[in-house]
A and B are shown apart, each in its own frame.
Chain A
Amino acid sequence: MSQAKVPAWVNIALIPVLNILLAFLVSGLVILAIGENPIEAAGYLIYGAFGYDEGIGYTLYYATNLIFTGLAVSVAFKGGLFNIGGEGQAYIGGLGVGLICLSLDHTMPFYVIAPLAVIGAAVFGAAWGYIPAYLQARRGSHIVITTIMFNFIASSLMVYLIVNWLKEDGRMAPNSRTFEENAWLPYLHEIFSPLGIEIGDSPLNLAFVWALLCCVFVWGLIWHTRWGYQLRTLGTNPTAARYAGIDTAKVTIWAMLISGGLAGFVGLNEIMGVNHNLLLNFTAGYGFAGIAVSLMGRNHPIGIILAAVLFGALYQGGAELAFEIPTITPEIVVVIQGLVILFSGALEHMFKDRIEGFFIRRAVA
């Protein structure tokens, strides 16, 4: 077995960076084709995402949602499950947050509401992941199909609940009343200003910190606990899992519970952190983008943070770009995002063999 070694940094850094550069190169050609200057466009995009306080705040606010859904996808994926249902689980998780806030904001202080809202998000999101998990583990229904279906069910359920039960009386808009301020997650700029640090106003709130804590939690859970060991065994070699006496159905169900719970935390950021009421369609595709984030981040929390920030930057910088250069419409920005997903997700292995081959030959020579 004379396997020449490919340096670790090649896989971790070089290949992803090459993929992203190629995506930007093709994006540049698209922008050139519509008669704009790609260098100038890239400047606006980068400045919009990272150039000033508010921009960074927005980038990280978007990244918060993507970290939650990215982690959700990765936990399921480590167990060999493809959870496409992050969108629905996030949506229902938001319902949990909203119900806690609506029922307690008149009577309870923030420090009671906040932990309950965290639990509400996790329990509701997990419950929405449980049903497909149960159907897969005990009844053999394919989890990809059921989780997709549950996204639609979640969507219809939320319309029904908000329009018929939770809508503010006497208003046409399909959303609940605004929560009292003691049920709002504080913005980071509010937290920092008493400390004498002034950062620009943005929707970035405490949920971002919770997202980072979740990364630590997932890292410990997967690589340092017994349960994580069983999960990884099941995900890489189900036959070995049965040999080792691992209860595969139980691990499958728990993986989806944790996955759903993590996705549910999107509700903390959106409902409790930014919108302060329960509304329709706040998940805005983060559940699906989480699949790309997890894929690009190699299902590792650190990779997921980096990928989430990249995607957050594309959301924020892209919005800025569309504003500065009107011929680059929001649709073109979606094209750029799509190219990044295409090159770093779907075409991930396009260069892999050739680059690894190059390093193996060099190592041998």
Chain B
Amino acid sequence: MPYAIELRDISKRFGAVQANKDICLQVPAGTVHGIIGENGAGKSTLMSIIYGFYEADTGHIEVDGKQVDIRSSQDAINAGIGMVHQHFMLVENFSVLENVILGAEGGALLKNGIDTARIELQRLAHEYSLDIDVDAIVEDLPVGLQQRVEILKALYRGARILILDEPTGVLTPQEADHLFRILKALKDQGVTVLLITHKLREIMASTDNVSVMRQGEMVAHRETAQTSKEELAELMVGKKVRLTVDKDEAQPSEVLLSAQNLSQFDSQGVKRLKNVSLELRAGEILGIAGVSGNGQSELLNVLSGIVPMDEGEIHFAGQVMTAKAPKDAAQMRDLKMAHVPEDRHKMGLVTGFEAYEAAVLGYHNSPAYNGKILMDRKTMLDECNERMAAWDVRPPNPHLKTANFSGGNQQKIVIAREVEQNPDVLLIGQPTRGVDIGAIENIHEQIVKLRDAGKAILLVSVELDEIMALSDRIIVMFDGAVVGELDAKDADERTLGLMMANAYNEEQGEEQEGVSA
């Protein structure tokens, strides 16, 4: 029997980044197939290729044994592929019915289309137990039901292969469980489901087969029943080249920064940071491990004053910041907190600025850079020249546009800017993302040097190696909350990997159950 969908040697490159490399995948009809991997492993790119958003550089796709040429999402729909995106593609102030027929209205007048759709939707809802009020306005529906509309939309267009991209990211656990029941009903009706996730629990709970992606490659295929969370966690994280950093035992002393029960809601009212408490001591590096998107960015933004907290307190430099009495990013800087943001392009730099201008971002109000009326260009240029020499930024040209430096050199400009201010606390996010090996060592040395000078450092990284090489203490975040804390000496990849997937405690629990039984 031919596979419902088969990928052969799919490769895709964006500039210097190989997002997908020789991907092969075979999905039997009527199964739920999980694709798991860390953020940035290439899962979403692969799904975008299947759904026609991107075209693969090489390789081809077969549906039901026949090669298909998918150049647009319309081609994908015609081939019977439907997709439910992580962020819904719904018109919020349209009714469910109107959303479902969008793009398949069936003629110039809406009435015919709506009437047929109403009957068809009732049939689908019955068949797959996807009950929904078809006349409800989408924005009035809870998130779980909105997702159901997306699924109905795909089925209405005749999808026999359904791709779900991180479907539970926005759902409550109860809604997620309901979704898995729906997936089972779909499977029983012969629909093939591709489930993209980085959550091990979901893979174990709902799939028949699972494929693991890592750094753009498909590294393993397993039958779900024949594998375990540990094996998958290990496959996901992989055995990477060990980074080593020469450093002495940490000498932590007084607490410089403490946070209690920090919470933050995004604009949709979803709680992104959940009651996070932590203490940061002088002379230590506290690593925050976690799959990206589990609240680390929010934590950095709240601690640095960029985004106000909604609940909780921060104690820093003899001051107390609360939701009612917040301090903004400029005030936190004045209290000697420096912040190297995770995304240097979006936040850390103004890429249109010349290097010497970007080198004072955030400190532009400092008297050192200002005369009475005009900014002191000469001081800024001199200092930029000095720093470029000290940090080996190439090319050492303060007038070059920031955008024209390589990633590593851009990062050096940002880190130099923050570190040279001699802060008491340094928040540093993804310090070596997109940075070449030579520069990584240099950056790591500087971070350790700062620690040894008695500063407190909070390191957020999705690179487990980096966390383990640099940190003295490690906190693991999952879904906006702290799920574990351990001494760096006790940390290994398996433990951290399980904690990052929030499977560690269950695992321990299961083992204990096993013992007692």
Interface residues of chain A, those whose CB is within 8 Å of chain B, are 1, 3, 220, 224-226, 229-230, 232-233, 236-237, 239-240, 242-247
Q: Complex: how many Å from CA A44 to CA B463?
A: 70
- Chain B residue numbers with a CB within 8 Å of A243 are 304, 306, 329, 339, 341, 347-348, 361-362
Q: Complex: how many Å from CA A1 to CA B349?
A: 18
Q: Complex: how many Å from CA A230 to CA B375?
A: 12
- Chain A residue numbers with a CB within 8 Å of B446 are none
B251 on interface, CB distance cutoff 8 Å:
no
B123 on interface, CB distance cutoff 8 Å:
no
Q: CB distance B404 to A3 under 8 Å?
A: yes
Q: Complex: how many Å from CA A244 to CA B329?
A: 6
- Chain B residue numbers with a CB within 8 Å of A245 are 305, 328-333, 362
Among A1, A230, A237, A247, which residue has its beta carbon within 8 angstroms of that of B364? A230
Q: Complex: how many Å from CA A237 to CA B403?
A: 13
B505 on interface, CB distance cutoff 8 Å:
no
B189 on interface, CB distance cutoff 8 Å:
no
Closest to B341 in A: A243
Instruction: Provide a sorted-by-A list of 28 A–B residue pairs whose CB atoms are within 8 angstroms.
Output: A1-B405, A3-B404, A220-B374, A224-B374, A224-B375, A225-B373, A226-B364, A226-B369, A229-B364, A232-B350, A236-B350, A236-B353, A237-B346, A237-B349, A237-B352, A239-B347, A240-B346, A240-B350, A242-B329, A243-B304, A243-B347, A243-B348, A243-B361, A245-B331, A245-B332, A245-B333, A247-B328, A247-B330
B253 on interface, CB distance cutoff 8 Å:
no
A221 CB to closest chain B CB (Å) equals 9
Q: Complex: how many Å from CA A211 to CA B329?
A: 38
- Chain A residue numbers with a CB within 8 Å of B305 are 245
Within 322-372 of B, Cβ neighbours of A (below 8 Å) are at 328-333, 339, 341, 346-353, 357, 361-362, 364-365, 369-370
- Chain A residue numbers with a CB within 8 Å of B304 are 243
Q: CB distance A246 to B406 under 8 Å?
A: no
Q: CB distance B404 to A246 under 8 Å?
A: no
A252 CB to closest chain B CB (Å) equals 16
- Chain B residue numbers with a CB within 8 Å of A247 are 328, 330
Dominant secondary structure at the A interface: helix
- Chain B residue numbers with a CB within 8 Å of A240 are 346-350, 361
Q: Complex: how many Å from CA A71 to CA B141?
A: 49
B304 CB to closest chain A CB (Å) equals 8
Q: Complex: how many Å from CA A70 to CA B329?
A: 34
B8 on interface, CB distance cutoff 8 Å:
no
Among A236, A239, A246, which residue has its beta carbon within 8 angstroms of that of B330? A246
Q: Return the CB mask of B189-226 against A: 1 if under 8 Å, else 0.
A: 00000000000000000000000000000000000000
Q: CB distance B346 to A239 under 8 Å?
A: yes
Closest to A228 in B: B375
B181 on interface, CB distance cutoff 8 Å:
no
> Which 5 pairs between the two chains have the least Cβ-Cβ distance?
A245-B330, A245-B329, A244-B362, A224-B374, A243-B347
Q: Return the CB mask of B291-329 against A: 1 if under 8 Å, else 0.
A: 000000000000011100000000000000000000011
Q: Complex: how many Å from CA A247 to CA B373?
A: 19
- Chain B residue numbers with a CB within 8 Å of A230 are 364
Q: Complex: how many Å from CA A147 to CA B377?
A: 35
- Chain B residue numbers with a CB within 8 Å of A239 are 346-347
Residue of A229, A230, A244 contacting most chain B CB atoms (<10 Å) = A244
- Chain A residue numbers with a CB within 8 Å of B330 are 244-247
